Amino acid sequence: MMDCNLRPYQEEVVQAALRGENSIIWLPTGGGKTRAAVYVTKKHLETTANAKVAVLVNKVHLVDQHFAKEFKPYLGNTYKITAISGDSNEKDLFGCLVKASDLVICTAQILENALINMEEEKHVELTDFTLLVIDECHHTQKESVYNKIMGRYVEKKVRKQGNLPQILGLTASPGTGGNRQLDKAVEHVLQICANLDSVIVSTKNFTLVLQKVVPRPKKQYDIVEKRALDPFGDHLKAMMLMIHEFMPSTVSRSLREMGTQEYEADVSYILNLLLIAQCALHLRQYNDALLINDTVRMVDAFWGLDEFYNSRKTKLLDGTDLFLQGLFDENRVELKQLASNARYENPKLARLQCTLQEEFNDENSRAILFSKTRRGTHCLFDWVNSNPELQRVNVKAGILTGAGTGANHMTQNEQKETIKHFRKGILNLLISTSVAEEGLDIPECNLVVRYGLLTNEIAQQQASGRARAMNSVYSVVAEEGGREIRRELTNEYLESLTAKAIDQVQQMSPREFSRKISELQQNAVMIRIQAERKKDEREQRYSPGQVQFQCRGCFLPVCSGEDLRKIENTHHVNINLEFERHYTAGVQVVLEKSFEDWEPGRVISCRNCGKEWGMEIKFRRVVIVPCLKIKSFSLKTPGGKSTPKQWKDVEFQVKEFDFLKDMSSRFPDLDLDD
């Protein structure tokens, strides 16, 4: 087993944990927070009777990463370590695995599911553990899974129930919660401490050593002048104005500036209004095109629109659809010509090209290019590969985006393969969404580029922390006077404000700190109790039969709330055979993981308009039922129309799935006793 030696600053920050105190370790990206946690875990297992440790992470890929690179090499020969995630077949036996293990590494959702599942082989209690290590613990706030788990912990503490485990949190930045005043930032840090029932610790005596281990990159602003002419964008806006005129003036006057995230929010809101929802859907596509036009190439924006309208040509429902389709068809040729005119190309791309060329003159360089959206990463990837100047300096790009089952998602294996190729030098440029900002074990980079991003100070610090090689560069490519520059400068201020807030919290007397934490925790328990009551009231607002589900693409009524059931509080399925006539089944969904009671089937889409609704699942190897995404539907109730983003937001009680009863009614001739 390898020796787990710490640097001086790591030894300093683990002292509170070694004394058995709850603590949050605050170290920058690359500072060795996880190694410090391994050391604390080792000492805890050695010195605590009947010790049992859970390491919680917020992303699936971090389970294997922490297991293979940190905990197994240092503890694997002496202790039984089990890694469990949503990808693991064993997750359905979580309770049994916890009993058989000294240390489990799992996603927070796995633990949350086990806390609420009362089946013996799956259930655990917080008191079954003696130490909880919480990675990226700044997420322990609001409705996060971390905060649900710690909400139970805090409530038990306030009520003086049971022997609770020690807590060790790890973070590169707790942030300020968006606050710009020191007193409010201090309140935010205190709230994080209260949520985790922990003090926050950082190095005071070895800051110079830390700075040497984690050098800060040189920051540069690669500024471009504003586009002198943008006829493609102007033409899109003119078409959008024609749609505005088609809508009621009271609605169109309320919309903010086109080509912005604010406009996106506005059209998302009016999607709730049935009569103009079709217009809103198309305006969102045009706004997406403007955002792409502002970030990458005009042709990328054009082809995105063209693909959207081609997919709808055979699904026109009424006069509004005919008007919207006709508007694009009439302008298509002119849009394509404007998009192909190199005179008006995006000047940010030329600036980005210069930044990349300069760095990749060194053949050993590695870089990460951060973009806001999955679609943006694919557009930039195409641009890099078709750019002769970048190919001349041997830029070998790969895409890294979040895992999932959608068209532009990556599988877990694809993520691992991409990072492996980057580590080996087969790739030297990662074009990534925010997935590469936090947690992933990515080699040191010479260059990190933030391209067209508006994020908070935590994301900025984590992205900057990826530029860890000596003499590395952190570049912000942005338009002169643009919002990206203003946000970046704001984030720099908030980063320094975070440090001041933490310092102020650390300087509090133990008595004052304890008093404030106790007050915040008691308030949190009261708020949690009230929230549970409101949730119960919301779920009882309507009976299932009063709720009509409409396709969010074409607003056709397709089922009633009475037809729905939930399985293990996760899957929401429709058990009414009549529902099948409303959808078509497409390609088979392939997941890298298998499950105890179900397996994925085919993607399902609205038969009328093609809107994707979810997928079929084969339950207990017996029956196939459609599993629905709530985002794909509008809900019509006696109180009006709503478009919930999550199932927990629906205003009626979805009945629990009763396999024998529900399947007997669905398939009267099916023998379920075999």
Has residue 168 got a pLDDT over 80?
Answer: yes
Are 605 and 612 contacting, i.e. CB atoms less than 8 angstroms apart? Answer: yes
* Sign of the torsion formed by the C-alpha atoms of 276, 278, 279 and 285: positive
Backbone angles phi, psi at 627, to 5 degrees: -105, 125
How deeply is 326 buried, as exposed, middle or buried, from its count of CB atoms within 10 A (0-12, 13-18, 19+)?
exposed
- Distance, in Å, from the CA atom of 416 to the CA atom of 592, rounded to the nearest integer, reads 13
Predicted confidence at residue 62, as pLDDT, reads: 87
Give 610 or 129, the one with higher predicted confidence.
Answer: 129
Average pLDDT over residues 625-636: 94
Predicted confidence at residue 11, as pLDDT, reads: 97
Range in 100-104, 287-291, 646-650, 656-660 with the lowest mean pLDDT: 656-660
Are 621 and 532 contacting, i.e. CB atoms less than 8 angstroms apart? Answer: no
Average pLDDT over residues 214-235: 89
Helix%, strand%, coil% for the chain, nearest 5? 50, 20, 35
- Distance, in Å, from the CA atom of 363 to the CA atom of 428, rounded to the nearest integer, reads 9
pLDDT tens, 430-486? Answer: 999 877 666 666 767 889 898 877 666 666 676 666 656 667 888 888 888 888 888
What would you measure as the largest C-alpha separation in the chain, in angstroms? 76
Query: Given its phi and psi angles, is residue 490 left (phi above 0), alpha (psi -120 to 50 degrees) or beta?
Result: alpha
* Sign of the torsion formed by the C-alpha atoms of 187, 191, 193 and 197: positive
Query: Looking at the DSSP assignment, which residues form a beta bridge with residue 53?
Result: 103, 131
Token pair of 251 as six digits: 């609605």
Q: What is the DSSP string of 471-517?
A: T-EEEEEEETT-HHHHHHHHHHHHHHHHHHHHHHHHTS-HHHHHHHH
Mean pLDDT comparison of 109-123, 504-518, 614-628, highest-scoring range = 504-518
- Distance, in Å, from the CA atom of 239 to the CA atom of 73, rounded to the nearest integer, reads 60
- Distance, in Å, from the CA atom of 481 to the CA atom of 61, rounded to the nearest integer, reads 38
- Distance, in Å, from the CA atom of 556 to the CA atom of 548, rounded to the nearest integer, reads 10
* Sign of the torsion formed by the C-alpha atoms of 106, 107, 110 and 114: positive
Has residue 104 got a pLDDT over 70?
Answer: yes
Predicted confidence at residue 266, as pLDDT, reads: 87
- Distance, in Å, from the CA atom of 358 to the CA atom of 43, rounded to the nearest integer, reads 47
* Exposure letters 458-496 (e unless 16+ CB within 10 A, then b): bbbbbbbbbbbbeebbbbbbbbeebebeebbebbeebbe
- Distance, in Å, from the CA atom of 310 to the CA atom of 664, rounded to the nearest integer, reads 43
Are 475 and 448 contacting, i.e. CB atoms less than 8 angstroms apart? Answer: yes
Has residue 195 got a pLDDT over 90?
Answer: yes
Which 3 state secondary structure label does DSSP give 125? coil
Predicted confidence at residue 261, as pLDDT, reads: 82
Are 413 and 404 contacting, i.e. CB atoms less than 8 angstroms apart? Answer: no
**Nearest residue to 415 via CA among 380, 442, 444, 452:** 442
- Distance, in Å, from the CA atom of 116 to the CA atom of 112, rounded to the nearest integer, reads 7
Give 266 or 209, the one with higher predicted confidence.
Answer: 209
Average pLDDT over residues 56-66: 89
User: Which residues are CB-neighbours of 614 under 8 A, at least 6 positions away?
Assistant: 603, 604, 626, 627, 628, 629, 632
Residue 558 has, within 13 A of its CA and on its CB side, a CA count of: 30
Predicted confidence at residue 247, as pLDDT, reads: 86
H, E, C per residue of 402-434? CECCCCCCECHHHHHHHHHHHHHCCCCEEEECH
Q: What is the DSSP string of 593-621?
A: ---SSEEEEEEEEETTT--EEEEEEEETT
Share of the chain above pLDDT 70, in %: 91
- Distance, in Å, from the CA atom of 443 to the CA atom of 426, rounded to the nearest integer, reads 13
Are 628 and 540 contacting, i.e. CB atoms less than 8 angstroms apart? Answer: no
Sorting pLDDT into bands at 50, 70 and 90, what band is 533?
confident
How far, in Å, are 14, 80, 99, 119, 596 from residue 93 at the CA level?
Answer: 33, 16, 10, 10, 10
pLDDT tens, 15-50? Answer: 999 999 999 999 998 899 999 999 999 999 999 999
219 sits in which H/E element: strand 218-224
pLDDT tens, 404-431? Answer: 655 567 877 888 889 889 988 999 999 9
Give me the residue label for tokens 């944990």.
17
How many helices (H) and strands (E) the chain has is answered by 24, 24
Are 185 and 441 contacting, i.e. CB atoms less than 8 angstroms apart? Answer: no
Predicted confidence at residue 218, as pLDDT, reads: 83
In whole numbers, what is the pLDDT of the chain averaged over residues?
Answer: 88
45 sits in which H/E element: helix 33-47
- Distance, in Å, from the CA atom of 151 to the CA atom of 156, rounded to the nearest integer, reads 9
Has residue 134 got a pLDDT over 80?
Answer: yes
Average pLDDT over residues 109-124: 88
pLDDT tens, 572-614? Answer: 999 999 999 999 999 888 776 667 678 899 999 998 888 899 9
pLDDT tens, 321-374? Answer: 899 999 999 999 999 999 999 999 999 999 999 999 999 998 889 999 988 888
**Nearest residue to 401 via CA among 426, 359, 431, 428:** 431
Average pLDDT over residues 531-536: 82
Token pair of 205 as six digits: 């005596």
Range in 244-253, 519-528, 539-548 with the lowest mean pLDDT: 244-253
Predicted confidence at residue 86, as pLDDT, reads: 62
Token pair of 167 as six digits: 């807590």
- Distance, in Å, from the CA atom of 318 to the CA atom of 394, rounded to the nearest integer, reads 52
**Nearest residue to 579 via CA among 604, 612, 554:** 604
Sorting pLDDT into bands at 50, 70 and 90, what band is 551?
very high
Alpha helices in 369-411 (DSSP H): 374-385, 388-392
Average pLDDT over residues 72-78: 94
**Nearest residue to 564 via CA among 545, 589, 542:** 545
Predicted confidence at residue 414, as pLDDT, reads: 85
Average pLDDT over residues 556-581: 91
The interaxial angle of helices 298-312 and 319-339, nearest 10 deg, is 150
Give 269 or 429, the one with higher predicted confidence.
Answer: 429
Backbone angles phi, psi at 235, to 5 degrees: -65, -40
Give 621 or 286, the one with higher predicted confidence.
Answer: 286
pLDDT tens, 372-384? Answer: 888 899 999 999 9
Predicted confidence at residue 579, as pLDDT, reads: 94
User: Which residues are CB-neighbours of 438 under 8 A, at least 6 positions away?
Assistant: 59, 136, 459, 462
- Distance, in Å, from the CA atom of 438 to the CA atom of 487, rounded to the nearest integer, reads 20
Predicted confidence at residue 576, as pLDDT, reads: 92
| C-alpha Rg value of the chain to the nearest Å | 27
How deeply is 208 buried, as exposed, middle or buried, from its count of CB atoms within 10 A (0-12, 13-18, 19+)?
exposed
- Contacts of range 530-539, beta carbons closer than 8 Å, 24 or more positions apart: 535/648, 538/649, 538/651, 539/650, 539/651, 539/652, 539/653
Domains of the chain with CATH codes: 8-212 (3.40.50.300), 215-226+346-481 (3.40.50.300), 231-344 (1.20.1320.30), 544-664 (2.170.150.30)
Predicted confidence at residue 443, as pLDDT, reads: 66
Range in 81-95, 133-147, 240-254 with the lowest mean pLDDT: 81-95
Give 222 or 72, the one with higher predicted confidence.
Answer: 72
Q: What is the DSSP string of 59-76?
A: SHHHHHHHIIIIIHHHHT
Sorting pLDDT into bands at 50, 70 and 90, what band is 536?
confident
Predicted confidence at residue 273, as pLDDT, reads: 63
